[in-house]
Structure 1
Amino acid sequence: MPYGFGLIVLSALFIGYRLSEYDYYSAEEGIGYMLGIIGGTMMLALLLYPLRKRIKFLRVIGSVKVWFGFHMVLGILGPLLILFHANFRLESTNSNVALFSMLIVSGSGVIGRYIYTKIHHG
């Protein structure tokens, strides 16, 4: 990922966390609810990448490199929107388990991609 994208994501995390104490929105309605819907949809769309590699008719739609690029972007933006949806707060046990599971999977993808680039030099 380009450094600019990473800087934007880190800035959004920092600003979102700092503003979360002001309760500008709620996860149950309005923009907070929509952030959850959009973030969840992005994470569901991540599943199209492995399907693209296995289902024949999807192979004609773009290259694996382009699909993987979308997979990486959605894998970062989806969880980011879910964090904003949750207003950077830990509430019920079920939502905590879901949130931490999502962050572990997303983080492992970022770390895996970093290791891959170091081993294969790009």
Structure 2
Amino acid sequence: MKIFHNILLTLLTLGVGVIVVTTLIDGWTYYQLPQAERVLQEEAHKMFGAAGFAGHGLGILAGIFFLGLFLYVFRKHLKFMRRWGKLNIWLRYHIFMGISAPILATVHSAFKFQGVISIGYYSMMAVALSGFIGRYLYGHIPRRKSGEELSLRQVHLDRAETIRRLEFEFGLKGPDIQKLVAFSTPRSIERWGILNLFRILWDDLSRWFQARRLARYFQHKYGLPPSEVNYLTRAIAKQRMLVQRIAFLDIVHKVFHWWHVIHKPFAYTVLVILVLHVAVTVSFGSTWIFKND
């Protein structure tokens, strides 16, 4: 099933990309015109304007994708949906729609944001940008392959297994095991408070290079072949990552909570304005290809 979802998401991404790029290329001249001059380009306006064939179609697709974001929320919180596939798969579609919706909405608007709808648009952009932050924080909460959160006991077991594997496969001795443990142990977490978020970011950026340096040290000391260095680097980096995520788990949970507090109001603002926008659009008879005879 993983391969199926990989293929489907790839096709969906390519599809959205082709639609957006094609529309931008065909309508580039129109999009460069000032607002007052666009209506004078009758054919182009009927195609690329917000109420035009292409523009309106992109708006409908953006709305569908935005509403689709709530499917992930339902999957997380509704009991009858908890057996409907793995949570991490739902998250991947959630991210795809969260990125695609504002891109499609931007082209739908023909790059003109006015009135109340501009509030909805910028709220959608805020949802998308905060979504990237949320995904980053989500990745720092240890989870099973299914996407369910791991217990601290399971994380500690995984860490111990990694250390035993390194000791067995590479013959690491006691002092070097201690060196490995010291390498991955965070220092003075409590006194840093919320600033630990910057330490998490720095650790993510520097972890591989530091693990590589330690792997090189073990290579020279134990005469390991060069082919083993990459594997050892990944194993050391994973061990450090597990320990860091244990250490920073409470902080990440707190920030993740406040992230939800900020993220949700923007999402609900977009939802309300989207419903109003659709209602007003339909009331004026703009129904795209669904014309009433």
Tell me what 2:107 maps to: 84
Q: Give the equivalent residue in structure 2 for 1:108.
A: 130
- Structure 1: runs of 5+ lacking an equivalent: none
Q: Which runs of 5+ in 2 are unaligned?
A: 1-12, 39-43, 141-199, 205-240, 242-293
Matched, 1:35 2:58: yes
Distance of 1:95 and 1:56 partners within structure 2: 35
Residue in 1 that maps onto 2:49 = 26
Q: TM-score when scaled to structure 2?
A: 0.34
Larger RCO of the pair (alpha carbons < 8 Å, separation 6+): 1
Query: Aligned pair in 2 of structure 1 residues 75, 59: CA closer, same or farther (>3 Å)?
Result: same
Structure 1 residue 96, shift from structure 2 partner: 1.1
Tell me by how many angstroms 1:72 deviates.
0.5
Match of 2:117 among 64, 89, 95: 95
SS at match of 1:76: helix
The RMSD of aligned alpha carbons is 3.1
Amino acid across the alignment from 1:96: S
Aligned pair 1:47/2:58, yes or no? no
After superposition, what is the alpha-carbon deviation per residue over 1:28-66, rounded to whole angstroms, capped at 9, x for unaligned?
A: 121100100110110001001011011122122110000
Measured after TM superposition, the shift of residue 117 of structure 1 is 4.4
State the shift of 1:114 in Å: 3.5
Of structures 1 and 2, the larger Rg is shown by: 2
Structure-2 separation of matches of 1:99 and 1:117: 27
| d(CA) in 1 for partners of 2:118, 2:133 | 22
CA positional deviation for 1:115: 5.0
| Matched AA of 2:136 | Y
Count matched residues. 112
Percent of aligned pairs sharing the same letter: 32
For 1:113 and 1:54, locate their aligned partners in 2 and report how far apart those are by CA, in whole Å: 18
Once residues 135 and 77 of structure 2 are traced to their aligned partners in structure 1, the CA distance between those partners, rounded to angstroms, is: 21
Worse-matched range after superposition: 37-46 or 111-120: 111-120
Runs of 4+ that moved beyond 2 A: 111-122
Question: Which AA in structure 1 matches 2:126?
Answer: I
* 2:85 match: 62
Per the normalisation by structure 1, the TM-score is 0.75
Q: Distance in 2 between matches of 1:115 and 1:50?
A: 17
**What is the CA-CA distance between 1:109 and the residue it aligns to?**
0.6
